[in-house]
Amino acid sequence: MPWAILFALLLGGFLIWKFPAFQAQAELGSAYAARIGCSCRYVQGRSLESCRGDLEPGMEMVSLSEDPATRTITGSVPLLASRSARHAGASGCLLDPE
């Protein structure tokens, strides 16, 4: 198991170093997924699982997680990017500052 973690870290570091556009896409995808997931979950009232279907094709690497206590959805690409959006009442969902 430690070898798998080391490999994943090395691969992530290589991708960031060699392909900066890949990291930029991961950051953009994480932010987009957080915002869409938050609106789906807390504005529309759907389950987080059904919200995953609202993501664009090609976003399979982006995962969604939920913190119901703060009404926050986090979109993340493992080892590359993570962004959160929280439900702000009548204002809808807002991305948290980086």
Q: Which pLDDT score, from 0 to 100, does residue 37 have?
A: 96
Residue 72 has pLDDT above 80, yes or no: yes
Q: Which pLDDT score, from 0 to 100, does residue 21 have?
A: 77
CB burial class (10 A; 0-12, 13-18, 19+) of residue 34?
A: buried
Token pair of 18 as six digits: 């060699």
10 φ/ψ angles, rounded to the nearest 5 degrees: -65, -40
The structural domains of the chain, with segments of one domain joined by +, span 2-95
Torsion of CA 94, 34, 77, 28, to 10 degrees: -60
Residue 20 has pLDDT above 80, yes or no: no
SS3 31: helix
Q: What does pLDDT average to over the chain?
A: 89
Token pair of 95 as six digits: 């991305």
Q: Which residue has the higher pLDDT, 80 or 76?
A: 76
**pLDDT tens, position by position, 29-59:** 999 999 999 999 999 999 999 999 999 998 8
